[in-house]
Amino acid sequence: MIKKFVQTIQNIWKIEDLRTRIGYTLLFVFLYRVGSFVVLPGIDANKLGALESQTDEGLMALLNMFSGGAFSNASIFALGIMPYISASIVVQLLAIAVPSFQKMQREGESGRRKINQITRWLTLFILLFQAPSYLLNLQHTSGAALGAGLDWTFFMISSTIILAAGSMFILWLGERITDKGIGNGVSIIIMIGIIARFPLAITQEFTSRVEGAVGGGLIMFVIELLMFVAVICAGVALLQGTRRVPVQYAKQSASGATYSGARQYLPLKVNAANVMPIIFAQAILFIPLAFVSYGGTEAESSWFVRNMMDHTGWLYNLIFAVMIIAFTYFYTAITINPVQMAEDMKRNNGFIPGIKPGKPTAEYIDTVMTRITFPGSLFLAGIAVLPAIAGKLLGVQTEFASFFGGTSLLILVGVVLDTLQQIESHLLMRHYDGLLSSGRIKGRVG
């Protein structure tokens, strides 16, 4: 195994283009991580304890995780890549509902450039609202961190510009990684933000187990690591799971006779929605609770609100799981178009054996997608609530428990698979062995 690993590294080093791309990727990632520790002008980084406590759970913890801790550091990269992700989701939904966006999607490369430009402008628009909100929250939670003689108006204007520029610079870094590096740049930026929290999380968990703060000792810590590996394997299976539908293509010989060509397969993903249902569900559950928090102790004293504010409680996770299942069906329905797939198949003289082309084919694909989406949605919901289960039943610390499932695990696994798949493609294209001796690596797209 070690020999295979060393040989793979040597093969990667021999390919100049691949070596250069990996170097560019590491350089851009380094710039991103350095910027995460550059604090906004006028803020004392030693007095941000309240802001750090606020990011221990809820949507704030999700934002802080995606930014690699820059959110709790009051960094120039505090808003991270999330405004662009939000804008991308909005544009994606518009492309489904608005005819003009649908037309742009069909225009090929020129349409893609227009959609990307609209997404950037929408990102900037979101930043102009999100940056002041972040600064007002910073003043509310960690007002002591602001300088005594600070001009608040000037600070708001200048810091809003800095935060917006920081997020747009991160987006630029992501695009450069996509163009000059290896893998999808935006996904890698998110992955690096998540990985940056892992060393601290596992160190805290090890310390709490060994020193007896939680109990169980070193043996329990080893069991946790084994369970963590098992969950990663489950995440890989979920992201790579497909149902292959056989497709036959009719071909014509030189004499005009029609015959059946080689059989191919249409891969239908078990989890076509990927991690989006979890993100949607988390955002929607957080919004009402954010408004309730402004209602004071009376609003927070009700049984329902108290249970919904407990992110490890059974009620919150039950509703969370149900919403994930519902959003999985919704997102799959808006991203997978059986009618379009059936039309493309018919246009290319393809058909599913035993199924008539056209509408019956579309209905068959829709039925198959409905059947495989149900177990996929249950599996996704199960992985999403695993951090709460790990925290409640095993006493895992909050930081480490977040890696036991949910958004962080699926993003990590998905991005790693996609990146390794690209590296393997470079190796195979130059007639080198792949990364695995047992077969090729499959990314999230198959």
The pLDDT tens digits along the chain (446 residues) read 677 667 777 777 888 888 889 899 999 999 999 998 888 888 887 887 777 776 766 566 767 777 778 888 888 998 888 888 888 878 877 877 788 887 887 777 788 888 889 989 999 998 988 888 888 888 887 777 787 777 888 888 999 999 999 999 999 999 999 888 888 888 888 888 888 888 888 888 888 887 765 666 788 888 888 888 888 888 888 777 888 888 877 665 555 545 455 677 888 888 887 777 887 777 677 656 555 554 444 445 566 666 666 677 788 888 888 988 988 888 888 778 888 888 888 888 888 888 888 888 888 888 888 888 888 888 888 888 888 888 777 777 777 887 777 777 888 888 888 888 888 887 777 766 655 555 555 655 54
Identify whether residues 61 and 174 lie together within a single domain: yes
CB 97 within 8 A of CB 223: no
Measured distance CA(148)–CA(344) in Å, rounded: 66
Q: What is the CATH number of the domain that holds 136?
A: 1.10.3370.10
425: closest CA among 179, 192, 187, 183?
183
Residue type for position 404: F
CB atoms closer than 10 angstroms to residue 189: 25
Which structural domain, as residue segments, surrounds residue 244? 198-411
Single out the residue in 196, 225, 248 at which a domain terminates: 196
Identify whether residues 120 and 234 lie together within a single domain: no
Single out the residue in 171, 196, 221 at which a domain terminates: 196
Measured distance CA(63)–CA(320) in Å, rounded: 18
Total domains present in the chain:
2
Residue type for position 62: L
CB 384 within 8 A of CB 406: yes
Identify whether residues 183 and 303 lie together within a single domain: no
Identify whether residues 290 and 156 lie together within a single domain: no
Distances from the Cα of 437 to the Cα of 215, 243, 271, 402, 429, angstroms: 41, 24, 27, 32, 16
Identify whether residues 382 and 397 lie together within a single domain: yes
Identify whether residues 281 and 189 lie together within a single domain: no
Is the pTM value of this prediction over 0.75?
yes
pLDDT for the residue 276: 77
Identify whether residues 190 and 234 lie together within a single domain: no
Residue 36 CA, chain-centre distance (Å), reads 19
Identify whether residues 330 and 390 lie together within a single domain: yes
Residue 386 lies in a domain: yes
Measured distance CA(380)–CA(222) in Å, rounded: 25
Residue 18 lies in a domain: yes
Identify whether residues 86 and 38 lie together within a single domain: yes
